[in-house]
Amino acid sequence: MATLTEAVETGYGPVQGGDDGRVKFWKGIRYAAPPLGDLRFRAPEPPQRWTEVFDATEYGPACPQPVVPRMPLDLGAPLGEDCLRLNVWAPADAHPGGGKAVMVWLHGGAYVLGSGSQPLYDGRALAGAGDVIVVTFNYRLGALGFLDLSSFSTGQRTFDSNIGLRDVLAALAWVRDNIAAFGGDPANVTIFGESAGAGLVISLLACPAAEGLFVRAIAQSSPASSIYDRDRGRRVALTLLEKLGIGASEVRTLTEVSNEALVAATHEVFNEVPVRNPGTLAFVPIVDGDLLPDYPIRLAQEGRLLPVPLIIGTNKNEAALFKLMRSPLMPITPRAITSMFDQIAAEQPDLQLPPVDEIGSAYPGRHKSRVVSMATDIGFRLPTMWLAQGHSSVAPVYLYRFDYATPLFKLLLVRAAHATELPYVWGNLGGPADVTLKLGGAKTATAVSRRMQTRWIKFATEGEPTGPAGELAWPRYDETGRSCLVIDSVDTVRHDVDARIREAWGAQIVSFR
């Protein structure tokens, strides 16, 4: 049974959370004004100050989003557009000015789904075991956060680009300005995220406005090539407007559209775009020449990302999750792969594009399994490899691949699929939101989790991803050794684990789609 904490004074007013003896927690704290009315589709504004003590014992609303039957999520909170809230967990001995390292989580969900209040991301285990301050938060999703309406701005109504990314920057600015009052060190902040959250981590590395807001970064399964230009962003916007029956000259009326109608249109476009253009997502960060000056992979290859140490990696069987759920978000059929190649060739005729069958022949197994492996590499491993290679010229990079699978995931034939590493990082294996241990395997899985948590926390606290005593050292990645930590029942370090992939794909062909 938790007791109430003493009120903590933030820059906007006092907040009071709970203390369960192991950790203290504060939930649902506003980091920005409610993005309603005229603030819809605009950059976040600071919240108004409050004087009464704010009850921070319950999560705030999660961003409005569609329900995807094959991707059911427990968001941990009701939906509501007043969603720009964050949550803090701290060890029980934390006190103002205590200077503990801070880990700020960016949740995934294809830029359309998810929240910082999902039970999987409960920070109790991570903060309690690691002596770190843990922060999770919501950012605007789907059309509310990643619909690029900036080309429709007029003298009467302007629309900001990359709204969801601007939310992330506002949350990090709140951490910089307020986390010391919760026991954290604002000069020792590590951002970490998975899937779309890792895409945002990489976007932040490419964002000059993010400089100084964090000193280390962790990107788990980043779809880093799913960042597009303004022309593609405008086409998606026009498609969504058509769904709503709104003409290009009437875009200002989007501020009056109901959440229900906007979410329904978001869902339609979210489903249609990857079917029409395999390998692409509808709602993503945009290279706007302002917040994002260029594609992150290109900036990495030129050594121009923010020079902070980076852990980056993927799961061995990423695309298997999308196959299991029959999701169109990745090209997991031969027809989708071929269509994607044809579109790349049409869009970028100067590329030396290997024939799809030639690339496929470099993969072992039956035809369908080869296609799933190709999808994993197109969506996740190739961008990760390019980022590691480029960024290692300006900062320490630690590359990993997560290979471990419990009996359940082996039975389902998904093995180390997309997102299966999450409960290991958070230390929430077997919790109410996790099915990982339904068929056993707890002893080995718990050991894997302990090693991952230790490495992630040591990276955040000391700058080196050291494992528990007696475990392997994790060498930095460079183009000579190409070291990769393979996380499995027993961790190993392999050199040039991606040699086959590099040879099969040859020149970079999909990084700037």
Candidates 81, 225, 267, 318; catalytic one:
318
Torsion of CA 268, 147, 218, 436, to 10 degrees: -20
Torsion angle of alpha carbons 68, 240, 170, 302, nearest 10°? 100
| 9 in catalytic set | no
> Position 196: which residue type?
A
The amino acid present at 309, given as its one-letter code, is: P
Start-to-end Cα distance in the chain: 51
DSSP, residue by residue, 455-487: HHHHHHHHSS---STTSPP-PPP-TTT-EEEEE
Q: Which residues contact 483 (CB under 8 A, 6 or more apart)?
A: 399, 474, 475, 476, 477, 493, 494, 495
Q: Can you tell me the distance from the alpha carbon of 73 to that of 315, in angstroms, rounded to the nearest whole number?
A: 20
- Cα torsion through 113, 146, 285, 158, rounded to 10: -160
Any residues with CB less than 8 A from the CB of 359 and at least 6 apart, and which? 374, 504, 505
Closest to 396 (Cα-Cα) out of 479, 288, 476: 476
Of 203, 226, 418, 511, the catalytic one is: 418
Residue 105, strand partner residues = 136, 192
DSSP structure class, residue 61: P
Residues linked to residue 9 through DSSP beta bridges, in sequence order: 14
Report the interhelical angle of 367-376 vs 334-347 (nearest 10°): 50
- d(CA 23, CA 375) in angstroms, rounded, equals 41
| Residue for token pair 């962003």 | 233
Question: Which residue among the candidates 117, 150, 161, 195 is catalytic per the annotation?
Answer: 195
Which residues lie below 8 Å from residue 50, measured CB to CB, with a gap of 6+? Answer: 12, 13, 14
418 flagged as catalytic: yes
Give dist(CA 19, CA 89) in Å, integer: 10
Is 392 known to be catalytic? no
Residues annotated catalytic, as ranges: 195, 318, 418
